[in-house]
Structure 1
């Protein structure tokens, strides 16, 4: 599929032409300004920080010759409209979670997270050394994007619930916010799954429009204020064991840039990926302690729920295998995950067990 040619002749391509004044690059004495749209509300802890970090790093590394102007969700386009805004040329780049765009291609889920998928370290191993980046680029070629990982939340929490979850049957009819293929899996368990931008989740939970939500983890969740609404918090989730964030530039725009500017974008994204992961992991422990001190009940799903989640995840992941590129990405990810897990479990995993046993 030649997405770039399609866009030029489609209705979307027509709207892009109408918005050409937004897309026109700004030049001044050899300088250029790129517009970054995001899937994040301004100030959302960690995720908007990652977008701003990448933008600022690009500007600094280029000594201002390449300036990135960040637009939060809703300031230029809506949170879930950033993909089309960049492919059409209405904006130059986006920062977001690529699993929001499984409607464009289900393979995009692997560059954020899939249920029972990779941890943050396993994702990095696959992406940088196991062929993952190449698959990200193959998807980008279809849709006119040049994409890089640019952030990671680490393992995400199972979420906030109004009532305890005692078995798989408790998901029947539950109105729950969860994006991506994890949300599809939860739907197979009987939940009524909602896909809401992060900036809309608090109000939906407070109003009763949803019964529960996952967001990220203790620090970002505390900042979002979910503990003001419900007190049942499940800290381990099946859906996003190491969620990557992405920076994607319109491919035509990227190819117009000098090799030095292209490398600056790539390097800034990689630096942001590591910086953002450390940001989340550094803040989560203290935030969890504060939540518990405030009365939040920290719980774990029973094994029966994990088993049901596993069955639903397998069905969800296998349903797209008729798409050759999806199947290839899935198999590559799984092989890399199994190879990484074997060593990590026997080295770091065993060390952590012994450290906790010895030091208490």
Structure 2
């Protein structure tokens, strides 16, 4: 598909409208350079929504540059693993990665906040903060310290609380529990006695099956169904308070990005904007059916108790204060997201919550 054809078709959707807004250039010149990049994804093709984001990104970039800018995509482990992807982008082993920044909290806990803040922003709020609330400027300043530029590249929406081998009713039930959970969520739960485990996606199911871990959180019904967790850990908890939103990013070596012609840079930004909207649309469309199938396969749906939620919230505030006291970047970002969240809920409780709450009650009176 040629660039003009793509842009014409794209005006039909909100995602493509966001893309075209950053492309205000003449058609790509015939003598524009041919450039080939490599993109390493943090995900395997079996997780089709997460993996296909990289393929969609590469396609849009190619379409917008009349095929002059080609990006070859590689799943996790083919060039580097998920844990090594950040370093690969920093040192130029690959030009670009698609990943969740909270995988790299070992380098700096601030990485976590651009994916998910426990008890933080929901999906719409995260996008609003990044795109219109000063979040992108904070991200630019932070990622620049690592030789990177980063653009939002998808969101899973609020995640589930995970799969457990046994019921978890009280804080006492959490003590000694070995749970796969990345980011700040694991650090917070450790204050409640959980033993957090850092395990890449490909190794989660075998660890759960062997009993190496007692519980796992991943994403939500659509992906969790594919990974088969219900077979070995039937208790399915919600909500994933550590991920009220889970944003992903395209992270690019800043020197490589600076070398691109301006029109190619714009194509990269436009492609990321398309992916950012496409991913959440797919998850919202596919999670309901997957949840029904999981319940039909034996999943027992449970909400975290009020006791656990309140203890987790208290522990999260302690962790944030501890990190902020010694990390200025973290302090700046979390102060920004917290202030933005509090202001957003002034509006959401008036309109969004009231509407959703009414419609959920209506649904329950008419169906299961």
Q: TM-score, normalised by structure 1?
A: 0.90
Counterpart of 1:221?
224
Residue deviations 1:25-51 (CA, integer Å, cap 9, x gap):
xxx983111111121123323221222
**Which residues of structure 2 form unaligned runs of 5+?**
1-30
Structure 2 counterparts to residues 335-350 of structure 1, below 5 A: 335-350=339-354
**For the residues of structure 1 that align with 2:199 and 2:327, how far apart are their CA atoms?**
27
Counterpart of 2:328?
324
User: Does the 8 Å CA contact 1:231/1:296 hold for their aligned counterparts?
Assistant: yes
Counterpart check, 1:295 vs 2:294: no
User: Does the 8 Å CA contact 1:44/1:199 hold for their aligned counterparts?
Assistant: no
Shift of 1:56: 2.2
Counterpart of 1:114?
117
**Which residues of structure 1 form unaligned runs of 5+?**
1-27
Counterpart of 2:148?
145
Shift of 1:158: 0.3
Check 1:201–1:309 CA distance in 2 against 1; reply closer, same or farther (3 A cut). Answer: same
Structure 2 counterparts to residues 130-209 of structure 1, below 5 A: 130-209=133-212
User: Does the 8 Å CA contact 1:93/1:247 hold for their aligned counterparts?
Assistant: yes
Shift of 1:145: 0.5
**For the residues of structure 2 that align with 1:169 and 1:140, how far apart are their CA atoms?**
39
**For the residues of structure 1 that align with 2:122 and 2:252, how far apart are their CA atoms?**
25
Check 1:298–1:358 CA distance in 2 against 1; reply closer, same or farther (3 A cut). Answer: closer
**Which of 42, 45, 49 is the matching residue for 2:45?**
42
Shift of 1:228: 1.7
Counterpart of 1:272?
275
Deviation beyond 6 Å, 4+ runs, structure 1: none
Counterpart of 1:314?
317
> When the two structures are aligned, how many residues end up with a matched partner?
333
Give the superposed CA RMSD. Answer: 1.4
User: SS at the partner of 2:349?
Assistant: helix
User: SS at the partner of 1:271?
Assistant: helix
Shift of 1:340: 1.3
Counterpart check, 1:261 vs 2:264: yes
Shift of 1:89: 0.8
Counterpart of 1:351?
355
**For the residues of structure 2 that align with 1:191 and 1:357, how far apart are their CA atoms?**
35
